[in-house]
Structure 1
Amino acid sequence: MNEDIYAVNLYVSGRVQGVGFRFYTVRVAKRFGITGWVRNLYDGRVEIYAEGRKPNVQGFIEEIKVGPPSAHVSNVVEHWKKIPKHHFGDFSITF
């Protein structure tokens, strides 16, 4: 069975830099089978590009909205699209 793959760009605001947020994101992505990347932005936000089956991506986002104990997520902006295939084989921190 061929399942649809979705990609989402997330822009996460709040206290999300210098608190282990990117490492937390990698752990959550691996647990949900998500591929893509996470990086800090110069304006203090974190950007995430995530690919996977829609229910997996939705579960991933719910945990991202919580964040690790040392973080405080105040806002998450989501930009979704359906894609024909995965573009990444794993999930990593990028710069």
Structure 2
Amino acid sequence: MYEHVRLTAWVRGRVQEVGFRWWTRSRALEIGLVGYAGNLADGRVQVVAEGAREECERLLRLLRGSGTPGRVDGVTEIWGEPRAGYDGFAVR
């Protein structure tokens, strides 16, 4: 049995207006996660993903990897209990 979790990650760098949210959505859907990616006023992107911990960790590795659009300078994350209520993975 997999532990289900909620990952909230804040991605900083040149991550707005470069297709980063749509890229994140595609990766999350491929992995099987639900949640959203949204731009923040300070230039970061907030990613909220729920699913099996192993799958959320996979998304986090991708966010920190070299294959993202734009330029990721850093990712800060927190882990929590899933809240459910997401239908798919949205771009906000």
For the criterion TM > 0.5, the same-fold answer is: yes
Q: Which runs of 5+ in 2 are unaligned?
A: none
Specify the SS of the correspondent of 2:64. helix
Q: Which runs of 5+ in 1 are unaligned?
A: none
Distance 1:21 1:27 in 2: 10
Specify the SS of the correspondent of 1:89. coil
* Aligned pairs, number: 91
CA deviation profile, 1:28-71 (whole Å, cap 9, x unmatched): 00011010001001100000111010110000111111252x41
2:10 maps to 11
| TM-score, with structure 2 as normaliser | 0.90
1:72-83 equivalence runs, <5 A? 72-83=71-82
Q: Does 1:87 align with 2:85?
A: yes
Q: Does 1:38 align with 2:37?
A: yes
Higher CA-based Rg: 1
Distance 2:31 2:59 in 1: 6
Identical residues among aligned pairs (%): 32
Cα root mean square deviation, aligned:
1.4
- After TM superposition, what 4+ stretches of structure 1 lie above 2 angstroms from structure 2? none
